[in-house]
Amino acid sequence: MGVNARGELGAAATVLRDRINERHMDTGVTIVDPATTWVEPTVELEPDVTIQPFTVLRGATRVRSRAEIHPHTVAIDAEIGAGAIVGPFCYLRPGTVLGDGAKAGTFVEIKNSRVGTGAKIPHLSYIGDADVGEGANVAAGNITANFPHRPGLPKGRTTIGRNVRTGIHNGFVAPVDIGDDAWIAAGSVITKNVPPGALAVARERQINKEGFVERDRDG
C-alpha cells in the first residue's frame, strides 16, 4: 500500500491497527470493539485481558492476565497487574505500575507511581511521583502536590502506606510519608509526616452561625 497523502496514511494505520488487534485476540485477549481500540506493536497483553472501547495503549505498556481496561483509557509505558481494573476515563502516564488487583478508576491520572496490590484510587484524583501501599484506599479528589516551584529542586515524592484510608479532597505536599493504617480526615492538606495508625486532621474547625440568614435578610 502506497502512502502519498494523509488519507492514505490513515487507511494504512487502520490496516496495521486491525492486524495488531487480531493478533492479540488470537492469543486470548478480549477486545470488545477493535475499531476503536488502538494498541501499539510494542505493547504486551497477556491472555484473558479485557479491553473496552476507545482505549489507547502505547509504548512499553504491559497488561497482565485478567486485567480489565474500561472505555476511554490511555496508558503509556505503564504496567498493569493481574486482575487490575482501569478506567473509564483514566490516564496512566509513564512510570505507572499498578499491582495485582489494584484499581485506577474514573477520571484518575497517575504518573511515575507505584500502586500496591489491591490498592484503590477509584475516582477524580491525581497521583504523581508517589508510592501507594497494599490495600490502601485513596478517596475522591486526592492530589499529590509534587512540584516544588523552586528552580533546581527535584519533584518531591509522596508515600502512602499499607491500608491507609484517605478522605475526600485531600492534598499531599511532597515530600511526605503517611504511615501504615493511618487515616486522613476529609478536606485536609497534609504537609507533615503522619505516624502509622494515626488520624491526621489539617483543616479549620467548622463554625455554625445560627440565625445568620434571617438576620442578613432583615438588614
Catalytically annotated residue among 24, 72, 123, 149: 123
The three cell numbers of residue 30 are: 478480549
| Closest listed residue to residue 168, CA positions, set 191, 144, 143, 187 | 187
- Site of grid cell 496508558: 75
**C-alpha span between 161 and 131 (Å, rounded):** 8
Beta-carbon count within 10 A of 33 CB: 13
Confirm if 127 and 105 have CB atoms less than 8 A apart. no
**C-alpha span between 209 and 26 (Å, rounded):** 66
**C-alpha span between 58 and 68 (Å, rounded):** 16
Assess whether 149 carries a catalytic annotation.
no
**Cα diameter, the chain:** 79
- Site of grid cell 505500575: 97
Beta-carbon count within 10 A of 86 CB: 28
- Which residue numbers are catalytic? 123
